[in-house]
Structure 1
Amino acid sequence: MSENFLEPQSLGVPCPRCQQELQLKKGRYGLFVGCSDYPKCDYMTSADFDPDTDVSCPECQSGKLVQKTSRYGKSFYACDHYPTCKFSVPLPPVADTCPKCAYALLLRKKTTAGERLICGREGCDYKTEIR
């Protein structure tokens, strides 16, 4: 690899917190996406960050759900307004409403039999047919 691979590379996507440009950076745990205005803005996410994900947080109504990784390596989706909003779900979110309880979030659940959408609200047992 070339030496300039270690330099931050601009992605052309604005930071959700401060609107500065996001950069692909290399840290001691691998690649990550971080704000170019660090240390003023400490926004960062994993390298497989998808800026086109537009699922809004059903709890605070103002944040977006972003993919994060736990310290054990598991993926989850949490509100980008953390710590003011601590909403998180373990499955990939879908911006659709539940027809049974009208909750504003469905989750994509993959099983060995196929894939289905389930309601994101605890206590609601709505699920679609296996696709």
Structure 2
Amino acid sequence: MSIFQSKKHAENCPECGASLQMKRSKQGLFLGCSAYPSCDYLKPLHNATHIIKNLDEHCPECHNPLQLKQGNYGMFIGCSNYPDCDFTVHDETEEIECFCPQCDENKLVARQGRSGKTFYGCAGYPQCRFTLFSKPIQKECPLCHSHIVTAKKVRGKKVYTCIMPSCQHSFIEEE
């Protein structure tokens, strides 16, 4: 047998029994079920999280030690018994006093992106995918009467800009 011959290792989906295929995403390679979209099983080929430190506290669900980990979206605390236990500690999200202009049901919350930058998104994610990259302020736009604007300082004055894509009116509020 030649060393250049491949040995095909077939792995089957644990959910439906179909074969798993190697696929690519922006996070890298993974195994996905060949019966997609009727079966959406995924298996990562590499662990995207790195353990930074073992902590003295224990998981409230399975009582294994907790770990400080680095993942795709920054640092987090998770159970050392992952994937059998998926307990994680999430930062408290700062809720803004503005309702989402897209769904008008949920409030906007501050979140951290993959790069660590703060953005503001609807608390109803993933059903509503509204996002802003500047902090929203509850103030009425004089042109379209939207109730959310963003603010920035320009030449010592606070300039407000409407967040509605159809408006984006900028104004300075006289004091």
Normalised to the residue count of structure 1, the TM-score between the two structures is: 0.59
**Equivalent in the alignment of 2:69:** 28
Distance 2:68 2:153 in 1: 32
Aligned length: 102
- Offset of residue 7 of structure 1: 4.3
Q: Does the CA contact (< 8 Å) of 1:93 and 1:106 recur in 2?
A: yes
Q: Does the CA contact (< 8 Å) of 1:92 and 1:109 recur in 2?
A: no
Distance 1:128 1:69 in 2: 29
C-alpha distance after superposition, 1:54-100 (max 9, x if no partner): 21111111111111111122211000100000001110001222110
Distance 1:7 1:59 in 2: 41
C-alpha distance after superposition, 1:90-123 (max 9, x if no partner): 1000122211011221112345645321100113
Write out aligned runs for 1:119-130 (5 A): 119-129=162-172
Matched residue type, 2:129: K
Relative distance call for 1:125 and 1:59 in structure 2 (3 A) is closer
Q: Does the CA contact (< 8 Å) of 1:114 and 1:130 recur in 2?
A: no
Relative distance call for 1:111 and 1:73 in structure 2 (3 A) is farther
Residue 54 of structure 1 aligns to a residue in which SS? Answer: strand
Please tell me the root mean square deviation across aligned C-alpha atoms, in Å.
3.5
Q: Which runs of 5+ in 2 are unaligned?
A: 1-54, 59-65, 78-84
Q: Does the CA contact (< 8 Å) of 1:118 and 1:127 recur in 2?
A: yes
Question: Using CA pairs below 8 Å that are at least 6 residues apart, which structure has the higher relative contact order?
Answer: 1
Answering whether residue 113 of structure 2 is matched by residue 70 of structure 1, we say: yes
Answering whether residue 161 of structure 2 is matched by residue 118 of structure 1, we say: yes
**Equivalent in the alignment of 2:151:** 108
Structure ID, larger Rg: 2
Question: Which portions of structure 1, spanning 4 or more consecutive aligned residues, are displaced by more than 6 angstroms?
Answer: none
Normalised to the residue count of structure 2, the TM-score between the two structures is: 0.46
Relative distance call for 1:84 and 1:109 in structure 2 (3 A) is same
Distance 1:26 1:116 in 2: 44
Matched residue type, 1:97: E
Distance 1:125 1:117 in 2: 9
Answering whether residue 106 of structure 2 is matched by residue 82 of structure 1, we say: no
**Equivalent in the alignment of 2:137:** 94
Q: Which runs of 5+ in 1 are unaligned?
A: 9-24, 33-37
Relative distance call for 1:96 and 1:130 in structure 2 (3 A) is closer
Distance 2:117 2:128 in 1: 20
